[in-house]
Amino acid sequence: MNRASSLAPDDVAQLACGILADERAVLARAITLIESKRPDHQSSARQLVQRLLPHTGAAWRVGITGAPGVGKSTTIDVLGSHLTGLGHKVAVLAVDPSSARTGGSILADKTRMARLAADARAFIRPSPTAGTLGGVAARTREGMLICEAAGYDVILIETVGAGQSETAVADMTDFFLALMLPGAGDELQGLKKGLVELADMIAINKADGDNLARAKVAAAEYGAALRILTPQLPEWRPPVVTCSALTGAGVAQLWDHILDHRRRLLATGAFATRRRAQQVKWMWALLEDRLRARLARDPKLKAKLPKLERAVADGTLSPALAVDEIVATLGL
């Protein structure tokens, strides 16, 4: 969205009306607006999200993570098609890796989700990570709210699957699914404890053909690892299941477990508690983003930063004193 200056209030209202009417072109434009780094666009995006806020919160938010090659996109394609077949409206926010040179994204998810891409009850939006910690695009949360306002009742967030910071997705979703490959063995030894602790379910994908026996062994090993950990919630002990996105085996059962999780959390009030905590974390994350943006724009700091960075790199200035100078420059 490259229109000059921020949107007028009437334009924001018109955009909101189009989203509430589930006009897909308007929905795509709105997400482009919230992803823009232009301060004027960001101002309009905040107005838009605030206007839509009363129409959000009803969807079930599911984060799906796993190492590259585990079959996240294929699993989402099969699971999403199963859900639309049940009458759900499914939005997929697929966070693509950003190019290290250009900052652009590969944006290949629509080709890997062929069925969902052609499904009238599904909406797929790839977004570049743009270097955001956690493998989740900076504006994924706002994109999620906009999709909810458009009437999508299941939001699937696919993360890039690279590094421990992937667990950041757990702070914005109701259910966190970790996909693993058969043959846990050596992988289990180096498994990041944080990922297993945050997962609401572990699914061993590609459990078909010659991999089936190995998948069952892997499921048993992951199950044993989970049993020595204290569950996040007393209401839920994360299951370990096997599935095959290729054949579809076990994919419907993934959703059954997610529904069971939802019923238990709603019954005990844990769902509302989790959402409230996530809202507060979101506020702090946005504040950190805003402060970083101010750092990048401050003219006095821009002039001083190269010298400070060189001094820190050369070992003639400690990082702590460099930070003191940065804070003093900003008048904080």
List domains and CATH numbers for the chain: 1-55 (1.20.5.170), 56-267 (3.40.50.300), 281-330 (no CATH)
Q: Name the DSSP class of 236.
A: B
16 pLDDT above the threshold of 50: yes
Percent of the chain with pLDDT over 70: 83
Q: What is the pTM of this model?
A: 0.85
Dihedral over Cα of 137, 288, 67, 208: its sign: negative
Buried (b) or exposed (e) across 305-332, using 16+ Cβ within 10 A? beebeebbeeeebeeeebeebbeebeee
Q: Quote the CA–CA distance of 330 and 328 in Å, as a whole number.
A: 5
Q: How confident is the model at residue 3 (pLDDT cuts 50, 70, 90)?
A: very low
240-270 pLDDT per residue, tens:
999 999 999 999 999 999 999 999 999 999 9
pLDDT at 110 over 70: no
Instruction: Answer whether residue 90 shows pLDDT above 90.
Output: yes
- pLDDT recorded at residue 268: 94
**Mean pLDDT: which of 33-37, 126-130, 146-150, 172-176 is highest?**
146-150
- Give the per-residue pLDDT at 100: 38
What is the C-alpha to C-alpha distance for residues 91 and 81, in angstroms, rounded to an integer? Answer: 11
What pLDDT does 111 receive? 61
Amino acid, single-letter form, for residue 83: L
- What pLDDT score does 230 carry? 80
H/E element, 95: strand 90-96
What integer pLDDT is reported at residue 313 of this predicted model? 96
- Residue pLDDT, tens place only, 294-305: 787 888 888 889
Q: What confidence tier does 96 reach under pLDDT thresholds 50, 70, 90?
A: low
Phi-psi region of 151 (alpha: psi -120 to 50; beta: other; left: phi over 0): left
